[in-house]
Structures are given as C-alpha cells and as structure tokens.
C-alpha cells in the first residue's frame, strides 16, 4: 500500500510538472503568435511593446520604433512572413525571471527600389552578405524586381517575470554577443545552449 501511495504521488508530481511546462510553452507560443503577426503587419509599436524591456535601458523605445519604420525609407522594401516555431526550450528560472530559447524559421523578401542598389556589383555584394549570414542555399535573387527571398533559421530568448505569462522577446543574433551579455545572464545562455 505504501508503494502504491508513493507511486501515485510521483505520477501526480510528474503530471503537474509536465502540465506546468506545457502550459508555459503554450503561453510562450501564444505571445509568439502575436509577436509574429505584428511583425508581418509591420505594427512596430506592438512589436516593440513585446521586446524585452531591459533592452530599453540601452536604447529608447521611440528610437527603436523609428529604426524599424525607417528601414523602408532608404530604397528598400521588406516583408517578413511564414513564421514557424521549431522548438521552445523548457523555461529556466534565474533571479526573478524565466528564460526560454525559441528556435524558429521565417521567410523574408527584401526588395531594393533605389537605383544605387540595382548595379550588378552592388547586387553581388548584397548576395554575398546575405549568403554569409543565412547560408547560400537559403538566398535566392529575383532579377525581375531586384529582390532577395531569404529563408532564415533563427533563435530568440523568451523572457517573463516569475509568475507572469507576459513573455517578451529578444533576438539571439550572431555578432551581438556583447548586447546579449549585457541583458541575458551568462549562466542562462550557457544552460539554454544559445549557440555562443
């Protein structure tokens, strides 16, 4: 009888842990859906409202919105689409916050409208740069409208205060290790295996 009670307790504890993790993953997924929809719609105010708030200790919120909005003002039109979450890690608690690593893919189309970007040598430079970042097999140039179709495999951090489902996001981009080091504790990056 004692073994049966112990077994039932273990099963209940395991089920509660699994439910907690799955509900946390579902909460992250729901926020990601909102974040990706806002990005596709170019609703930069909403996107920035879902960015990790500690980032705004380094850059003003208004400046970030303006940066996103201005990207299209300089001879470039871009569209992000086809977001797909590949995996969400188990969340990790650290100093009052919870962190998870999200692996996702997205399609991008970047069209250059300025004559300066239509020169073949400039196209070659852009293509080489995109290929170095995303992999040659993930970049296609469309000569008819001077655009690039890019399939990107990316990661980001999802962060929420303990006890909250108010998840915010921060991209885990190569070359931004200094910024990540300032905002995401090293122990968290190491435990989540963020690719550094």
Domain ranges of the chain: 2-192
* Residue 49, pLDDT score: 95
Q: Tokens for 18, please give them.
A: 């699994």
The mean pLDDT of the chain is 85
Cβ neighbours around 172 below 10 Å, total: 21
> Across the strands, what pairs with 152?
106
What's the predicted TM-score (pTM) here? 0.80
Q: What is the CATH number of domain 2-192?
A: 3.10.450.50
* Residue 66, pLDDT score: 87
Question: Using CB atoms within 10 A of its CB, is residue 175 exposed (0-12), middle (13-18) or buried (19+)?
Answer: exposed
* Residue 19, pLDDT score: 37
The C-alpha atoms of residue 119 and residue 143 are separated, in whole angstroms, by 11
Instruction: Enumerate residue ranges in the chain where pLDDT < 70.
Output: 1-21, 194-196
* Residue 104, pLDDT score: 96
Instruction: Give the three-class secondary structure for 86.
Output: strand
Instruction: Give the three-class secondary structure for 194.
Output: coil
């Amino acid at each position: 009888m004692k073994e049966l009670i112990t077994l039932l307790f273990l099963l209940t504890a395991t089920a509660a842990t699994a439910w907690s993790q799955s509900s946390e993953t579902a909460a992250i997924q729901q926020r990601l859906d909102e974040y990706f929809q806002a990005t596709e719609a170019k609703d930069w105010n909403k996107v920035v409202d879902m960015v990790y708030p500690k980032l705004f200790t380094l850059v003003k919120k208004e400046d970030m919105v303006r940066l996103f909005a201005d990207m299209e003002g300089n001879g470039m039109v871009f569209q992000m689409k086809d977001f797909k979450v590949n995996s969400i890690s188990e969340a990790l608690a650290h100093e009052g916050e919870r962190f998870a690593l999200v692996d996702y893919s997205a399609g991008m189309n970047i069209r250059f409208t300025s004559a300066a970007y239509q020169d073949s040598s400039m196209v070659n430079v852009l293509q080489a740069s995109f290929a170095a970042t995303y992999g040659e097999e993930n970049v296609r140039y469309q000569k008819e409208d001077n655009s690039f179709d890019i399939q990107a495999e990316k990661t980001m951090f999802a962060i929420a205060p303990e006890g909250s489902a108010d998840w915010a996001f921060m991209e885990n981009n190569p070359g931004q290790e200094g910024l990540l080091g300032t905002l995401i504790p090293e122990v968290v990056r190491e435990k989540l295996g963020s690719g550094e």
